[in-house]
Chains A and B, each alone.
Chain A
Amino acid sequence: MTGTLKTPSANSRGLTPRQAQREPAWVRYLLIGIVLLILTVLIVVPVTNIFVQALGHGWSAYTHAFFAPAPPPAPDHLTRAQALVQRKLAHTYESAAHNREAIATTLFVAVLVVPLNTLFGIAAAWLLTKFPLRFRSVALTLIDLPFSISPVIAGMVFVLLFGLQGWLGAWATNVRIGRPAFDIAAAFPYVQLAWVPATGIIFNWPGIVLATCFVTFPFVARELIPLMEAQGTEEEQAAVTLGANGWQLFRRVTLVNIKWGLLYGIILCNARAMGEFGAVNVVSGNVIGKNGTIPIRIEQLFSAENNLSGAFALATLLAGLALLTLLLKSMLEWRTRQSTRKVQDA
């Protein structure tokens, strides 16, 4: 490489120093090939498989996973074969209702968890970057804790705390705490709202919210801390000397500077909140038709009901969410880079 660069003919061909640093062609193609192979085996094939399996039995089979027709009223005398068909129809109908319920639960949990962790993340990042704090490194480690703990352990912690034998078990297993539920199929095209009475923290939605909160709480904070650190406190100081109060300072200066990073953190937090399995599995009790989120329901369809096409149909929702998240993520990463570049310029 260097030998050819020294000759005048190489210079006349316009080789730049950048080209001089390049690896030989076969090394480049080998590396690119290996990466493509790994991506195909680990990502492209499995994701494609989800959609192929879910849609393999046709579009109506796919939609039946969510909206199955109610079985017709059964005549008094059924042949064995008719009885089998009848049972299958009833089962599909019930299964679709459970699937919708899982979607509703997932949305309900995400609606509670994501705003909570957004608030927490902003507060933590604000505290850790704008003020000199004595226990800064300890706090940073604590924020990272959910990343390093197995989600199953995280779930267990709440069971040990609020479960029947837990420290707060006597109170936590008897507290009445219902929740709103909605179903879009029962009164289509309207949404049917209902209040679902329930008891207890564990094996009930508060347990799922707690466990999901725990697992997803680093996302927003982790996204904001480096960004806010890079931006420093000078603009805030300027705003204070110009007469801004705390809220004006936050809304007009800090929030505007972090908005893209914040949105990115929220999207990651949401993706994880909807997709969390381990911790939710422990606290939800994994009872069919009770308090399952989408990942829990997928596992039930797959292992307990042996309903592979249903499992894959539900999985397309999570895969779709993941693809959408990736798309938004790369768009936001681009915007965040732009605003960090502005920091370095300004």
Chain B
Amino acid sequence: MRLTINGELRELALEPRTTLLEALRLHAGVTGPKESCDRASCGACSVLLGDKAIYACSLLAIEAQGAEITTVEGLSRTGELTRLQQAFVDKDGLQCGFCTPGMIITLAALLRRTPHPTEAGIRAAIAGNLCRCGSHPRIVAAALDATGGRVTESLHVLQVHDHGLA
């Protein structure tokens, strides 16, 4: 099969039943997209097909022939992080990081459609991505930060003179 992965045409010898996620991870050595549920429930495997985010675990590789496949690695090919990626770092939009490639890809697809989304729009776009560390508030903050939205501060640190406990 011929797959265009992150701008590079790759020829891979694959069984017809191979999913796009298996093709990427096990055959093309592109391990950014993660396998977590393997049945289109969690979004960790998300990649761009053209401008659209899809679950790579639930598409056969053979069906992705001819399309531009972009994984999280492909967003920062020059080595420089995109504004969205940098916002994930700055706003701590991750903990263990296993859902992160899928979150970033899904949000990257949103930003291609809607450069300045609302908070509700962000939440709706990533509703199909799960995170178990509970980074949701910081992920939304990162997406807002990357698109010029307003991030509400949710942490308030009380010093000794504020709380009065030694």
Q: Do A and B belong to a common assembly?
A: no
